[in-house]
Amino acid sequence: MCSLEKIIKKCQKGDRQAGEQLYKMFSPKMYAVCIQYSNSREEAEDNLQDGFIKVLESISQYTGKGSFEGWMKRIFINTALEKFRKNKSVQIVDEVPDMVDEDVDDEIDIPSNVLFDFVSQLPEKYRLVFNMYVVEGLQHKDIARELGISEGTSKSNLARAKEILKRKIKAYLSDE
Amino acid sequence: MSDNLEKLFKKALDEVTVEPPARVWEGVNAHFNRKRQRKLFLYSGVAAAIALLLAISLFLENSVSEGYVSPTPLASNINTIKLENNSLVQVISTSNRIPSFKHSTNKKNIKISPLAKNQSITLALAGNEVSSDLMNSRIQDLSIPIVNGNAVENQKKYIDLLHLYPTESTYAARDKEEEKIQETPKPQKIRNKEKNSFSVGGYVSPGYTSGSYHQSNANSRTTQFSDDQMSGLFNVTGGITFAVKPNKRISIETGVGYSRMGQKTDEMQVYSPQLAMSTSGNTQLLASNVQVATPLGSVKSKATAAVYSMDANIALKDSQTPEGSIEQQFDAIEVPLLFRYRLNNNRVKFSVLGGFGASFMVRNETYLEYEGTRESMGQTDDIRKFNISTNFGIGLEYPITKSIHFRIEPGFKYYLQSLSKNSDIEFKPYTFTFSTGIGINF
């Protein structure tokens, strides 16, 4: 197996086999990202396909600075967000809900795929903000800009998302 | 605080992988196959066009060859020579070279009959009469068929066969004949004499302009604008040309032309002041003079409405019209330097041309279009004032009068540098043109 650097260089020269190798290496991870930024599996597949085409078409612009996976992930997220922005209806600023401000136990043992499903089942506006804030580490002002919403909406959506997830965790633990 | 919750989910979401269905890769593969096929069709089309041009030029070239005629008749000089034995030999000569016939050096095998007057050389050579007939002294006033540039030499050979040795007077007559042959002008091609060494012309060129676009991934807005959003512009340009013709085939051309480059970006979200007030209830108008991100760089917009796309720099309130577009136009004065090679020299001339063009930017304007409104936004920042392009084309010239001709020239122009000086943006314009014009030869 070639190193990632060699595969990238081959892809930059238009080597189709290297493109397939790159796909095999990253598609499971990127598909998971696409699922979190899409409303259905079909949409996630479309985003994975469109995103990977963009990756191969613009790979010559990757200069080797920074993480390749991060660079690639950004393309998939942007691909999904483009669709979100195109289809987005007028957003109404949500009121920040009344919540019990309590954290979850840091020793909770829930499989990753279950937690993954919890997030993917969130409504779109909560799911996007949650992923961008928690997983990507973006600030609310950046999220607001990316999604075309206000910072207040971003904050309230994050709070809603956390509230729903906490309930899901509680329900899951009580069922066990 | 919910730090534990965030950590818990971040770790889980970073870890999880999901195997995608095989059809996703098949879709990626199909996309690149289609792209490769399109390229193949394009190259095949170009190759076919070149092959067609070459075939036409070869065909026309051959037509020119058929048009070559000799200014002298095949056999123009007829002289009668009296030989030593009082035989009269009529010599027919020509300056045109025809293949000399070969014969065996063995005289016994030679079977050549003299020709009666008005009989053709072919018949003479094909005759089966024995050479002894030629020895007959009764042969008088017969024509000896000599019809090519080697007439005198052939005649001598012929006489040798007859054992007739020429006298001094015969040689004198033959020398005279040779002089005549030398004086006979060489055959010339009948062609339209092109004494013109200079021509001027004007052209009008409807065209389609777009560009190859790449945006650097150095920032987070890698995919801010997608190819799907962008399209080219149709326009009409024109100019005047000057050409110098060092020879009939080649001309070196320059001139001054006005050209337009640019592109249109669709699917932009437009925020109009009216809508902003009505939906949000907020009386704050969206300010103009904001820096708007466009594919070709930032524009300080003077439009009353604001526009935003993808990861644009400006964050606006929640009111927008569904869609609008940005049209970015860049006009330039161009000075080309082109080399034209004419593939044929017939009445209708085909040519190929290629060269370079120096382009001086004179206008830079961005328009915003939404809901039937077209507003000027202003100038795009960091646009290069000078650029170099490569030009290719094929031409067809048709003479209207002796010195005026009509031209049709499909062409392609590609700019070698990005229109934007911004290192994150690469937009190299290209233009397909269909130039029609008039040229006057001097």
pLDDT (average), residues B193-204: 74
Q: Which of A16, A35, A63 minimises the CB distance to B18?
A: A35
Per-residue burial over B184-214, b if 16 or more Cβ lie within 10 Å, else e, is beeeeeeeeeeebeebebbbebebebbbebb
> Chain A partners of B29 at a C-beta cutoff of 8 Å?
16, 20
What is the pLDDT confidence band of residue B4, given thresholds at 50, 70 and 90?
confident
- Asked if residue B198 and residue B143 are part of one domain, the reply reads no
Q: Which of A78, A91, A169 minimises the CB distance to B222?
A: A78
pLDDT at B419: 87
Residue of A nearest to B18 (CA): A28
- Greater confidence (A145 vs B148) lies with A145
pLDDT at B177: 64
Hey, is B311 helix, strand or coil? coil
- Asked if residue B88 and residue B229 are part of one domain, the reply reads no
CATH number at A112-175: 1.10.10.10
Hey, is B165 helix, strand or coil? coil
Q: B244, B251 in Cβ contact below 8 A?
A: yes
Q: Where are the domains of chain A?
A: 4-87, 112-175
Residue B290 belongs to a domain:
no
Residue of A nearest to B310 (CA): A82
Least reliable range by pLDDT among B79-93, B181-195, B222-236, B342-356: B181-195
| Tokens found for residue B78 | 């007829």
Q: Is the pLDDT of residue B223 over 50?
A: no
User: For the packed helices A151-175 and A112-120, what is the interaxial angle rounded to 10 degrees?
Assistant: 130
pLDDT (average), residues B115-127: 46
- Judge: B216–A61 Cβ closer than 8 Å, yes or no: yes
Percent of chain B with pLDDT strictly greater than 90 = 14
State the virtual CA torsion across B340, B341, B346, B349 in degrees, nearest 10.
-40
- Asked if residue B195 and residue B174 are part of one domain, the reply reads no
> Of B183, B207, B234, which residue constitutes the final position of a domain?
B183
CA distance A45 to chain B (A): 6
pLDDT at B76: 52
Supply φ then ψ for residue A76, to 5 degrees. Answer: -65, -40
Q: What is the DSSP string of A9-40?
A: HHHHTT-HHHHHHHHHHHHHHHHHHHHHTSSS
Q: Return d(Cα A34, Cα A50) in angstroms, integer.
A: 11
* Sign of the dihedral defined by the CA atoms of residues A143, A147, A152, A155, in that order: negative
Q: For chain B, how many structural domains are there in total? A: 2
- Asked if residue B248 and residue B358 are part of one domain, the reply reads yes
pLDDT at B178: 61
- Judge: B16–A116 Cβ closer than 8 Å, yes or no: yes
- Judge: A61–B214 Cβ closer than 8 Å, yes or no: yes
- Asked if residue B209 and residue B179 are part of one domain, the reply reads no
- Greater confidence (B160 vs B419) lies with B419
> Of B121, B150, B183, which residue constitutes the final position of a domain?
B183
Residue B408 belongs to a domain:
yes
- Asked if residue B362 and residue B254 are part of one domain, the reply reads yes
- Judge: A31–B20 Cβ closer than 8 Å, yes or no: yes
> Chain B partners of A90 at a C-beta cutoff of 8 Å?
279, 318-320
pLDDT at B325: 84
How many A-B residue pairs are in contact by the CB < 8 A criterion? 151
Q: Return d(Cα B203, Cα B237) in angstroms, integer.
A: 8
Q: Return d(Cα B376, Cα B359) in angstroms, integer.
A: 24
Q: How far is CA B387 from the centre of its chain?
A: 23
- Judge: B32–A16 Cβ closer than 8 Å, yes or no: yes
Residue of B nearest to A91 (CA): B318
- Greater confidence (B78 vs B200) lies with B200
- Asked if residue B97 and residue B228 are part of one domain, the reply reads no
- Asked if residue B172 and residue B151 are part of one domain, the reply reads yes
Q: How big, in percent rounded to 5, are the helix, strand and coil portions of chain B?
A: 25, 40, 35
Q: Which of B5, B7, B279 minimises the CB distance to A90?
A: B279
- Asked if residue B197 and residue B99 are part of one domain, the reply reads no
pLDDT at A32: 95
Fold of A4-87: Rna Polymerase Sigma Factor; Chain: A (1.10.1740)
Residue B156 belongs to a domain:
yes
- Asked if residue B244 and residue B112 are part of one domain, the reply reads no
- Judge: B10–A106 Cβ closer than 8 Å, yes or no: no
Residue B18 Rama label (left phi>0; alpha psi -120 to 50; beta) = beta
Which has the closest alpha carbon to B209: B9, B359, B377? B359
Q: Which long-range contacts (CB under 8 A, 24 or more apart) does A54-63 make?
A: A54/A79, A54/B223, A54/B226, A55/A22, A56/A11, A56/A19, A56/A22, A56/B28, A56/B32, A58/B214, A58/B217, A58/B222, A59/A8, A59/A11, A59/A12, A60/A12, A61/B214, A61/B216, A61/B217, A62/A8, A62/A12, A62/B217, A63/B218
**B385 CB neighbour count, 10 Å cutoff:** 11
CA distance B16 to chain A (A): 6
Residue B56 belongs to a domain:
no
> Of B141, B156, B183, which residue constitutes the final position of a domain?
B183
Average pLDDT taken over every residue of chain B: 71
Domain that holds residue B373: 191-262+328-441
- Judge: B28–A135 Cβ closer than 8 Å, yes or no: no
pLDDT at B104: 47
- Asked if residue B357 and residue B257 are part of one domain, the reply reads yes
Q: Return d(Cα B94, Cα B147) in angstroms, integer.
A: 6
> Chain B partners of A49 at a C-beta cutoff of 8 Å?
24, 27-28, 31
> Chain A partners of B318 at a C-beta cutoff of 8 Å?
90-93, 148-150
- The pLDDT tens digits along chain A (176 residues) read 568 999 999 999 989 899 999 999 999 999 999 999 999 999 999 999 999 999 999 998 888 888 999 999 999 999 999 888 887 654 544 555 555 566 677 677 889 999 999 999 999 989 999 999 999 999 999 999 889 899 999 999 999 999 999 999 988 988 77
> Chain B partners of A81 at a C-beta cutoff of 8 Å?
310-311
* Per-residue pLDDT tens digits for B6-21: 988 999 999 999 999 9
- Domain of B362, CATH number, reads 2.40.160.20
What is the pLDDT confidence band of residue B107, given thresholds at 50, 70 and 90?
very low
Element (H, E) at B178: helix B168-183
- Asked if residue B241 and residue B135 are part of one domain, the reply reads no
Q: Is the pLDDT of residue B1 over 60?
A: no
* Per-residue pLDDT tens digits for B319-364: 445 577 888 899 999 999 999 998 888 888 899 999 999 999 999 9
- Judge: B3–A103 Cβ closer than 8 Å, yes or no: yes
Supply φ then ψ for residue B416, to 5 degrees. Answer: -85, -20
Residue B66's alpha-carbon distances to B69, B70, B149, B191, B192, in angstroms, are 8, 11, 21, 12, 15
- Judge: A93–B311 Cβ closer than 8 Å, yes or no: no
